[in-house]
Structure 1
Amino acid sequence: MTLRVVTALVAILAGAAAPVALTSPAAASAKDPATVCTITDKRMTELSGLAATGDGYVVVNDGSDIAADRKIFFLDRRCAVTRAVSYPSRPRDTEDLGLGRDGTVWVGDIGDNERDRETIGLWRLAPGGGKPVLYRLAYPDGAHDAEALLITAAGTPVIVTKGVAEGNVYVPGAALEAGRTTPLRRAGAVTLPITSTPNPFSIAGHLLITGGAVSPDGRRAVLRTYADAFEFDVTDDDIVGAITRGRPRAIPLPDEPQGESVSYTADGTALLTVSDGRKPGILRYFLPAGSASAPPPALSSPSASASGASTSAPSASGASPSAPSASAARTNSAATRLAGLPFGAILTGLALILMALVIGLVMAVRRR
């Protein structure tokens, strides 16, 4: 079944909530986006991950059958490729990437449309390095599809699943180690507001988390759907607490063709997005006036110290003190959904229940 057919089914179910137009709290007044550059390289037509560096961008495609497309691409500020790093083995479905404070690139091999993976992967590329290291992880409660990866200032990866209306949050339960599988630990859940921002996938576009990023100074984090970005304030590097208990600011990303990527600019004053498709443009959405962030390191050229860079992964214990218990996260999630719930939201909830009959198709068919 094509994505068009699935979207049509969702639109029919969404009709049950036609009188409803929910808006997000504290919506940010972002201006119309500007295209900072256009990617013309034919190898990049299914972009799923984006990060801004001091001198350009890093991008990845999602799972591809073409070997030339399965690389970590480094771009300059004009979106021209400066280098491309291959994986030592074939990744399954690379859906997002994050940038560590030291310039380490983390690629989230976390997509699982069919929910049949026993393990997922994180690829770690040291600053200036030429060979990513693979770390395997396993969920404690069965397979999940995920497209959002956030990296804390301490270097701890945080994975947010692509659940319907709610994403589960997972962190490593032990230090990552190449050559063995690290268990993941559920640290909470995220429920994002439903807005009226137009997008190609109707109400389904508001329910699925497709990407995430952390600001260069670590004080803000963002999660996106196909329709909007939601920014959270982060205190003491507690990203899990911020996204599971914080109150987000909504930044509309209207009518992006199939937006799955989000990043902060190098100075933290704007968001960057990029969509699937031929010759995609990197779009910039300015954020409301606030403090700028220190720029991240330049990554396009290998650094002189790359050969001496440590290949050991950070411990996951840094996220543990701030991660809420599962019961506390569920309680907070429910409170977030119910607080100030208008009558229209009840109608929307009924539509979501009906939509569950076809949501498996929505999750499985997300490519053209």
Structure 2
Amino acid sequence: MWEGDEVAWGRRTAAGAALVAVFTLAVAPGVAVAGPSPAPAPARGTSVCQVRDGRLTEISGMVATDAGFVVVNDSADEEPRRRIFFLDGACVVVRTVPYPSRPRDTEDLALGADGTIWVADIGDNDRSRQTIAVWKLAPGGGRPALHRLAYPDGPHDAEALLLAGDGRPVIVTKQGGAAGLYAPATALRPGETVPLAKVGQVRLPDTTTSNPFSFLGRAVVTGGATAPDGRRVVLRTYADAFEFDVTGGDVVAALTTGRPRITPLPDEPQGESITYSRDGRSLLTVSETADQPPGTRPTILRYTLTAAAPATTRTATPAPTAARATDDRADLGDITSVIVVAGVVGLGLVAVGLVGVTRTRRAGR
């Protein structure tokens, strides 16, 4: 789900768009908000198929398979929606797998080299979870196994899962500026809580891509994927996809020292899912929110990859040291400073706008 610091943002509505405009106008008289120069409008993705199953209205994770797609909802109150859904190439549900216990907040999927489906139960909008989890579903299996994980530095909200060359999961947190990278410190063990270690951080370049959440939507990581050959990984925001080259299976090195190629994903209603096509030549996305605008269905979109030059601004950086603590706080830049100022000058307007864009968080998250 969308979240900017302490405010959980909901589905795209007219009120949501108005609130972003209010934030921008409220800041403009007293604060000069620097940003990149406008660029030509990027091309939109081409439609692959529409998901018409009524249980799939908040798709938060997707992987492509030889037979079609696998998707999960953001955690749902209704039990029939708490499934791992297998779709054919026309987006028709052909199989579902239930969880043996209730997941908390499933946000992303990954596909292992051996065909294992990884479900990232890592969302934490309120930053209150003592543990997060990944579920592993073996090829053809009917019951995913639960593996619990714990951050070394307190709770984080996260929506992106990548797989390194050795099969180790890498979790990318959602915060803007410098997103944290976390990986298990030891081998996963069913029934036990394994500690995570912070292994780095990644900063994504600035863009001007249009999206429902304006500058906020261009800053936070909402999904990730590893290419079928393991030689590339991609992170996405609500606005863009950032593709990094991977050498020797070292995903962390790619994210902390590499320069990404950018594929704009303009104006997706609430883009949180991304995966590679099976041939690795395209990126596939689907928005979490259905009925935006009313009557529409989640649509899988295809973006053909190009050999564009890597970005040259705000490249990824290695993990911070204690001496850089002050700089890390400043890394939030475009998001935090604007939110603070807007909160001072427009608090009343924010309270009104939130009626249209927030939604009640489910119990137990």
Q: Secondary structure at the match of 1:244?
A: helix
Match for residue 214 of structure 2? 202
> Bigger CA drift: 124-133 or 277-286?
277-286
Q: Secondary structure at the match of 2:321?
A: helix
After superposition, the C-alpha distances for 1:180-202 in whole angstroms (9 at most, x for unaligned) are 10000001111111211110111
TM-score by length of 1: 0.79
Provide the C-alpha distance between the structure 1 equivalents of 2:322 and 2:230, rounded to a whole number of angstroms: 24
Q: Any conservation in 1 of the 2:51–2:299 contact (CA below 8 Å)?
A: yes
Q: 1:238 to 1:90 in 2, by over 3 A?
A: same
Match for residue 22 of structure 1? 36
Match for residue 244 of structure 1? 256
Q: CA offset at residue 353 of structure 1?
A: 5.2
Determine which of 264, 286, 308 is the counterpart of 1:274.
Answer: 286
Q: 1:347 to 1:226 in 2, by over 3 A?
A: closer
Q: CA offset at residue 166 of structure 1?
A: 2.2
Q: Which amino acid aligns with 2:290?
A: G
CA RMSD for the aligned pairs? Answer: 3.3
Determine which of 320, 328, 341 is the counterpart of 1:354.
Answer: 341
Aligned residues: 323
Q: Does 1:285 align with 2:303?
A: yes
Q: Does 1:160 align with 2:154?
A: no
Q: Any conservation in 2 of the 1:30–1:286 contact (CA below 8 Å)?
A: no
Q: Which amino acid aligns with 1:242?
A: A
Gaps of 5+ in 1: 291-322, 338-344
Q: CA offset at residue 13 of structure 1?
A: 3.6
Provide the C-alpha distance between the structure 1 equivalents of 2:189 and 2:359, rounded to a whole number of angstroms: 32
Determine which of 177, 180, 183 is the counterpart of 2:192.
Answer: 180
Provide the C-alpha distance between the structure 2 equivalents of 1:14 and 1:347, rounded to a whole number of angstroms: 12
Q: CA offset at residue 153 of structure 1?
A: 2.8
Q: Does 1:327 align with 2:310?
A: no
Q: Any conservation in 2 of the 1:115–1:143 contact (CA below 8 Å)?
A: yes
Provide the C-alpha distance between the structure 2 equivalents of 1:91 and 1:346, rounded to a whole number of angstroms: 34
Q: Which amino acid aligns with 1:94?
A: T
Provide the C-alpha distance between the structure 2 equivalents of 1:254 and 1:232, rounded to a whole number of angstroms: 20
Match for residue 116 of structure 1? 128
Q: Does 1:62 align with 2:49?
A: no
Match for residue 33 of structure 1? 45
Q: Secondary structure at the match of 1:72?
A: strand
Provide the C-alpha distance between the structure 1 equivalents of 2:272 and 2:44, rounded to a whole number of angstroms: 18
Q: Which amino acid aligns with 1:22?
A: P
Q: Any conservation in 2 of the 1:135–1:178 contact (CA below 8 Å)?
A: yes
TM-score by length of 2: 0.79
Q: Any conservation in 1 of the 2:239–2:265 contact (CA below 8 Å)?
A: yes
Q: Any conservation in 1 of the 2:171–2:182 contact (CA below 8 Å)?
A: yes
Q: Secondary structure at the match of 1:263?
A: strand
Q: 1:326 to 1:273 in 2, by over 3 A?
A: same
Match for residue 3 of structure 2? none
Match for residue 310 of structure 1? none
After superposition, the C-alpha distances for 1:3-58 in whole angstroms (9 at most, x for unaligned) are 4666645443444477754279xx9x975311111110001000000100112101
Q: 1:90 to 1:231 in 2, by over 3 A?
A: same
Provide the C-alpha distance between the structure 1 equivalents of 2:174 and 2:9, rounded to a whole number of angstroms: 20
Q: Secondary structure at the match of 1:94?
A: coil
Q: Secondary structure at the match of 1:165?
A: coil
Provide the C-alpha distance between the structure 2 equivalents of 1:329 and 1:257, rounded to a whole number of angstroms: 40
Q: Which amino acid aligns with 1:142?
A: G
After superposition, the C-alpha distances for 1:174-228 in whole angstroms (9 at most, x for unaligned) are 1100111000000111111121111011111011110000100011110000011
Q: Which amino acid aligns with 2:75?
A: G
Provide the C-alpha distance between the structure 2 equivalents of 1:221 and 1:229, rounded to a whole number of angstroms: 10
Match for residue 12 of structure 1? 22
Gaps of 5+ in 2: 1-7, 292-296, 309-316
